Amino acid sequence: MVEPRPLELTSTYLRLRSDASVEPLPVDETFWQRIMAGELGTFHNEYLVTSFGFGADWTTWEMHPNGDEIVCLLAGAVTFVLEIGNEHRSIELSTPGSYVIVPKGTWHTAKVTTASRMLFITAGEGTQIREVAE
């Protein structure tokens, strides 16, 4: 058994495995390269738990084709934008603890109202990214 100890979600992300176990994933400058290259597994029926701070609007849209995503505001204020059909739907997150469930297959981005920190629980398998058009 691993000795319980405090971890920081900014430097150690979490993999929620399909067997209900949790694996800490240390983060370094190569983390996203390794995850995109499949070196950390496929994340099939698994979730990645992360936390990020944002001081500006996202420059990309993203979409998770294999599961819903939960995005929880920890601090600040953000407008989450979901692309549903041919329309954009805005969801204001302005109270710490407020969250949005992004449905599987829905493109989404964020407009940062004030510097923010968010918690993400992401079905990461097959994630797609595209640039925000100006």
Residue 52, both tokens: 């990020």
Residue 2, both tokens: 């691993």
The CATH number assigned to the domain holding 18 equals: 2.60.120.10
Residue 91, both tokens: 């969801």
Helix (H, G, I), strand (E, B) or coil at 35: helix
pLDDT tens, position by position, 1-30: 566 888 899 999 999 999 999 999 999 999
pLDDT tens, position by position, 74-107: 999 999 999 998 899 999 999 999 999 999 999 9
Domain span including residue 42: 12-131
Q: How many CA atoms lie within 13 A of 117 on its CB side?
A: 7
pTM: 0.91
Q: Please tell me the predicted confidence (pLDDT) of residue 115.
A: 97
Angle ∠(91,60,79) on CA atoms, nearest 5: 15
pLDDT tens, position by position, 109-119: 999 999 999 99
Question: Looking at residues 63-74, what average pLDDT do you find?
Answer: 96
Q: Establish if 7 belongs to a structural domain.
A: no
d(CA 126, CA 44): 9
Confidence of residue 57 (pLDDT cuts 50, 70, 90): very high
Q: Establish if 3 belongs to a structural domain.
A: no
Q: Establish if 2 belongs to a structural domain.
A: no
